[in-house]
Amino acid sequence: MRPSIPAGRRAFLAAPALLALPARAQGVRELLNVSYDPTRELFRDYSAHFVREWQAQHRQTVRVNNSHGGSGRQARSVIDGLAADVVTLALAYDVDAIAERGLIAKDWITRLPQNSAPYTSTIVFLIRKGNPKGLRDWPDLVKPGVAIITPNPKTSGGARWNYLAAWASAKKHGQDPEEFLGRLFRQVPVLDTGARGSTTSFVQRGQGDVLLAWENEAHLALKEFGAGQLEIVYPPLSILAEPSVAVVDANAERRGTRDLAEAYLRGLYAPAGQEVAVKHFYRPRDEALLAKHAQRFPPLELVTIDGAFGGWAEAQRTHFSDGGVFDRIYRPGR
């Protein structure tokens, strides 16, 4: 028999041709925003808004592409060559890591107002409806029999904020913070790599009594899964989380997108951008807007990373580097 390309195989080869490359219209400008996990919904909305604005003002069609993942991992991808025009990450340290490789100017944090963080968030407790374990403040978390869900501070930006908020609270209560964190992490049954993974563990799989979560992530979970099963508890003290944004200079220059990239980030500070942030449960920088939504964002005592920990570089070195405090207190399986 003569060998020939079988019909099935020919059809298989033809199929992609039918679907072939998406129609990429001429003259569409593209912008890539590399972001962290819980901002998916925020940037889906904001990017759509930005595309409309830019079209109206400049008569140019823009396509904003979004990439999401754990903040540290996303920074690593940009360092390895993911062509982000802007990064919108969970913490300044991850942007610093990119700046260290020369892709972002070292003084990036001063280029935009308020530490280049157009919105803020904080760390709250997401608990089961009715608060069966009576969790009101950080010390309640280490009561016997309370299972705590938090992601791994080694890989997750949110988890580092969780950890530092707990640390600040222990200090305020006059406890030994290292001992407190050690007890806390002994009551963590599963350490996911990212914030969204932890939320899924807590909400979908029903693990744990309390999820240490970004305020926005907690509100989103409440919205998605109904207030019938979950509630949010605001501890008396938490941390001011400032998710940082920056233009990736090397990429923006190379791709000729600096004007777009800068407008995209500046727009986050504009009234419309702040409204989008509020809609997705991020605390706006606009004081009037924040006051208007005081019900959604109840005031609480917030420590800052600079005030309480001497900045990210210091906090990272002391707590999360190899051999740091976290490595000392966390021993899996003990």
Partner 1 sequence: MNAAEDPRWLRALVAALALLVGLLLLALPLAAVFTEALRRGWEVALEAILEPDSLAAIRLTLLVAAISVPLNTVGGLAAAWCIAKHDFPGRRLLVVLVELPFSVSPVISGLVFVLIFGLQGWLGPWLQARHIQVIFALPALVLATLFVTFPFVARTVLPLMQEQGRAEEEAAATLGADGWQIFRRVTLPNIRWALLAGVLLCNARAMGEFGAVSVVSGHIRGQTNTMPLHVEILYNEYQFAGAFAVAALLALLGLVTLAAKSVLERWSGRAVGEAG
Measured distance CA(43)–CA(20) in Å, rounded: 28
How many helices (H) and strands (E) the chain has is answered by: 17, 12
**Contact residue for partner 1 among 79, 105, 232, 290 (CB under 8 A):** 79
**Contact residue for partner 1 among 254, 292, 296, 317 (CB under 8 A):** 254
Measured distance CA(70)–CA(52) in Å, rounded: 29
- Are 214 and 282 within 8 A, CB to CB? no
Asked if 175 interacts with partner 1 (CB under 8 A), we say no
Asked if 319 interacts with partner 1 (CB under 8 A), we say no
- Are 265 and 118 within 8 A, CB to CB? yes
Asked if 206 interacts with partner 1 (CB under 8 A), we say no
Stretch that binds partner 1, among 66-74, 113-121, 240-248, 269-277 (CB under 8 A): 66-74
Considering the complex, state which of residue 41 and residue 53 has its C-beta at the smaller distance from partner 1.
41
Considering the complex, state which of residue 1 and residue 56 has its C-beta at the smaller distance from partner 1.
1
Asked if 48 interacts with partner 1 (CB under 8 A), we say no
Measured distance CA(273)–CA(94) in Å, rounded: 23
User: How far is residue 249 from each of residues 1, 79, 91, 304, measured CA to CA in Å?
Assistant: 62, 12, 18, 28
Asked if 22 interacts with partner 1 (CB under 8 A), we say yes
Considering the complex, state which of residue 22 and residue 228 has its C-beta at the smaller distance from partner 1.
22
Considering the complex, state which of residue 196 and residue 319 has its C-beta at the smaller distance from partner 1.
196
Asked if 6 interacts with partner 1 (CB under 8 A), we say yes
Count of Cβ atoms closer than 10 Å to residue 173 Cβ: 13
Measured distance CA(242)–CA(118) in Å, rounded: 8
**Contact residue for partner 1 among 55, 65, 114, 318 (CB under 8 A):** 65
Measured distance CA(283)–CA(118) in Å, rounded: 9
Q: What is the largest CA-CA distance in the chain?
A: 86
Considering the complex, state which of residue 26 and residue 57 has its C-beta at the smaller distance from partner 1.
26
Asked if 227 interacts with partner 1 (CB under 8 A), we say no
Asked if 66 interacts with partner 1 (CB under 8 A), we say yes
Question: Coil, strand or helix: which one is 125?
Answer: strand
Which positions lie near partner 1, rule CB under 8 A? 1-3, 6, 8-9, 12-13, 15-16, 19-22, 32, 37, 40-41, 65-69, 77, 79-83, 101, 196-197, 200, 224, 254
